[in-house]
Structure 1
Amino acid sequence: MAKLPETARAALMFEYNEDLRVAEVGVPQPDPGALVVKVDITSVCGSDVHTWHGAVKPRVPIKPPLVLGHETVGTVVAIGVGADTDSTGNPIRIGDRVIWENAACRRCEACTVLHQPTLCFNRQVGMLHDATVYPYTAGGFAEYSYVWPNAGRVRVPDKLPSEYAAAGSCALRTVVNAFERVGRIDTTSRVVIQGAGPLGLFATALASRFNPRQLVVVGAPASRLEVAKQWGATDAISVEDYKSADDRVAVVEEITGGGADVLFEMSGARGAFAEGVRMAGIAGRYMVVGTLGGPAQEVEAMRVATRQLTIMGTMSAEIGSYQRALEFLAGGMETFDWNALFSDRRYSLAEATEALTSLETMQEIKPLVVPSV
């Protein structure tokens, strides 16, 4: 094992809403059960933007400076005692690429009684970790990062480019978990997906595998809806063309003949959940994924009862969904052009603020930060 440097560069968020600044932070040692990785690439997620703007602060006690970024692929450079296999039992060696989850405590009610570790209030989340406190570089906007001892981790298949695996480590694994929880989708299903961002597009690709009778995507801009069509959407509804919720609900009801059997809220847009309830058909199932903040929404509660709707939510995913996400990406490389998610640009650590802004302003679907640039 090569000797690790004492410090490394990271793009630090010192204050909310201010530009990230490159600074030196400590590099941890491989504690028992932990890994230290050299960051290959980190794709930017909406959660990074929300954290940057302080939206997480009221719900989670965090203290800057922070190393943002959590959709990360890293090359293993140090292996702690007992960390020589991944969560599927495959060996981990120096030079392997891995993705990993947030570390649940494994000893609270959510973890041990409810078997819902994604709801653990004691989770160790790298991008929310104070960078002045060991292990320092636990986020993705850094040259090195730390895989917590309790964090599940899986090796990235050799054939899979790192940018694909990075996007799979959050956006797609969340979609995989949502599909597993929502229940059966088949050739008779009328599916509606709200949102044409990374979550919505991955959901479109995954839903298309079930060959539903209708697969309707509601979102914008037109370029993203075109990707949705290429990935299996039978219909695309532009929120730029149908500007009111009433108009969008009407066209969904017309296309589906009365409403969706299965609906996914993947946009997080203001009012999206309330609108989705109106798009659901009788006995519809509604999976809420994208709405993680924003103001309260006024919902037609009577419709939930009179249509006997089932409303579900999901938060993040366990390591099994990460593994299945990688399998779906690798298996779909000949069917889906995953490169449609990315531009040709690669952002350096010094340009990390530009990457956040590019995602926020919808200039790119998945900006990529590469520390070696």
Structure 2
Amino acid sequence: MSIPTTMLMSVLTAPHSIELNRVATPTPGPGQVLVQITAVGACGSDTHFYEKGAIGNIVVKGPVALGHETAGIIAAVGEGVDTSRVGVRVAVEPQTPCRHCEFCKSGRYHLCPEIKFYGAWPIDGSFAEYALVDDDFAHEIPDSMTDEEGALVEPASVAVHAARMAGITAGHRVFITGAGPIGVMNAQVARAFGATEVVISDPVANRRQFALQHGADVALDPATDDFSGFDQHFDVYIDASGNARAINSAFPTIKRGGVAVLVGMGGDELTVPIALFQHREIALKGTFRYVNTWPTAIALISTGAIDAAPLVTGRFGLDKVPEALMSAKTDATAIKTMIIPSLTVTDV
């Protein structure tokens, strides 16, 4: 496979400032592969970095390429990697743990204190033509999956991790707040894990309708619908909105012994009705990305257990990254936007 000496990379230089640069194509080191990027999903966290220059305690202090929902083709391998991997299509797990700490050793590598996450300063992400990836975190995908479905393995993994944290199993009733891409993925994964009732809430009519077509039995409008009819009804509650008001309105719907899982990134603090949680013995859990989820997410998508492809509602080249990142706010019909490097138009 012929590899150019330079490549295009879309770089965040400051809030609301992204430049398309031509940079040297990286060379894979020991244990690494060079992936030619074919599709990258635009995530809400990318948009937050673009608008604010920070998420929580992760502050952008210099130029960085965003993008972490990635699929591509292995173009070259580093020392110690089987050369037969060249040409293999992969979905990228965008994190590098230390592999030596107690969390890595116990299989909870996503909690590694030294973990490096692609597209979060100072680690460049995948809004580029090529990216370096740890060999064991470049997961092969079958021919039955498209490149875009490969990129959607990342948000599907978020949902798989949440479903595991919640202990979703056959017969469970599940309530989800937020019907964006993560909320819809959570609805589909909950169904795949055995949930027999999935209710979702979102203030945007288009997203409610989309959720009804892709995993939800009922879609509520939090501005007009009354949740009191679901008092102590759900085994599991998952927040995919990060909205404090939405979260607190959902707590009373959790039954005794139920589980609440917070996935959405919102404010730094949340007021929780402790008496309700104690009296009902509700478990409140946070989630941090994902761990050991890629094989499951790939299997769910490739077998059709979850229908990921319809989430993609827009495609842009590397020259249109700002438009892609803001599409969810500028286009009422947008669900998930993809960056497709091959669509890039530039004379850089």
TM-score of the alignment, normalized to the shorter chain, above 0.5: yes
Which amino acid letter does the alignment assign opposite residue 100 of structure 2?
R
Within a 5 Å distance, the mapping from 1:52-131 to structure 2 comes to 52-54=50-52, 56=54, 58-60=56-58, 62-84=60-82, 92-112=85-105, 114-130=106-122
Partner Cα separation in structure 1 for residue 268 and residue 32 of structure 2: 39
* Equivalent position of 1:306 in the other structure: 279
1:372 aligned to which of 325, 342, 347: 342
Question: Residue 68 of structure 1: SS of its match in structure 2?
Answer: coil
Instruction: Check 1:160–1:104 CA distance in 2 against 1; reply closer, same or farther (3 A cut).
Output: same
Pair 1:50-2:39 in alignment: no
| Closer/same/farther in 2, CA of residues 327 and 282 from structure 1, 3 Å limit | same
SS of 2:20's equivalent? strand
Q: How does 1:213-362 map to 2 (within 5 A)?
A: 213-242=196-225, 247=226, 249-253=227-231, 258-290=232-264, 292-318=265-291, 320-332=292-304, 337-343=307-313, 345-361=314-330
CA displacement, residues 129-149 of structure 1 (integer Å, 9 cap, x when unaligned): 447xxxxxx411111111036
Quote how far apart the aligned CAs of 1:274 are: 2.6
Query: Alpha-carbon deviations, 1:311-368, whole Å to 9, x = none?
Result: 11221112x3111111101111xx665332112x421111100000013446411101
Q: Which amino acid aligns with 1:158?
A: D
- Per the alignment, residue 178 of structure 1 pairs with 162
Q: What letter matches 2:114 in structure 1?
A: N
Shift of 1:240: 4.3
CA distance in 2, matches of 1:73, 1:213: 32
Length, aligned pairs only: 342
Query: In the alignment, is residue 207 of structure 1 matched against residue 185 of structure 2?
Result: no
Q: By how many angstroms is 1:104 displaced?
A: 0.5
Query: Residues 346, 295 of structure 1: CA spacing in aligned structure 2 closer, same or farther, 3 A cutoff?
Result: same
1:148-163 equivalence runs, <5 A: 148=134, 152-163=137-148
Specify the SS of the correspondent of 2:310.
helix
Inter-partner Cα distance in structure 1 for 2:102 and 2:252: 35
8 A contact 1:92–1:155 mirrored in 2: no
Secondary structure at the counterpart of residue 66 of structure 1: coil
CA–CA distance in 2 between the matches of 1:317 and 1:58?
18
CA shift for structure 1 position 73 = 0.6
The question of 1:140 aligning with 2:126 is answered: yes
1:7-26 map, 5 Å = 7-16=6-15, 18-26=16-24
State the distance in 1 between where 2:220 and 2:335 align: 18
* Kept after mapping to 2: 8 A contact 1:259/1:282: no
Query: What one-letter code is carried by the residue in structure 2 that aligns with 1:105?
Result: C
Which residue does 1:194 correspond to in 2?
Answer: 177
Q: How much does 1:213 deviate?
A: 4.3
Evaluate the alpha carbon distance shift between residue 358 and residue 342 of structure 1 in structure 2; reply closer, same or farther with a 3 A threshold.
same
d(CA) in 1 for partners of 2:121, 2:77: 21
- 8 Å CA contact 2:173, 2:198 repeated in 1: yes
Distance 1:180 1:39 in 2: 30
Alpha-carbon distance in structure 1 between the residues aligned to 2:214 and 2:193: 12
Give distance in 1, aligned partners of 2:309 and 2:168: 29
| Runs of 4+ more than 4 Å apart | none
Query: Contact 2:94 / 2:118 at 8 angstroms: preserved in 1?
Result: no
* Residue identity (%): 28
**Scaled by the length of structure 1, what TM-score is found?**
0.84
Secondary structure of the structure 2 residue equivalent to 1:20:
strand
Which SS does the other structure have where 2:336 is aligned?
A: coil
Distance 1:122-1:362 versus aligned 2 partners, 3 A rule: farther
Q: Deviations 1:64-90 (Å, cap 9, x if unpaired)?
A: 2110000011111111122238xxxxx
Q: Distance in 1 between matches of 2:24 and 2:44?
A: 27
How far apart are 1:205 and its partner, in Å? 1.2
Scaled by the length of structure 2, what TM-score is found? Answer: 0.90
CA root-mean-square deviation = 2.3
1:83, 1:294 → 2: CA distance? 42
Q: Structure 1 residues 175, 82: closer, same or farther in 2, change over 3 A?
A: same
| Distance 1:115-1:326 versus aligned 2 partners, 3 A rule | closer
1:165 aligns with 2:157: no
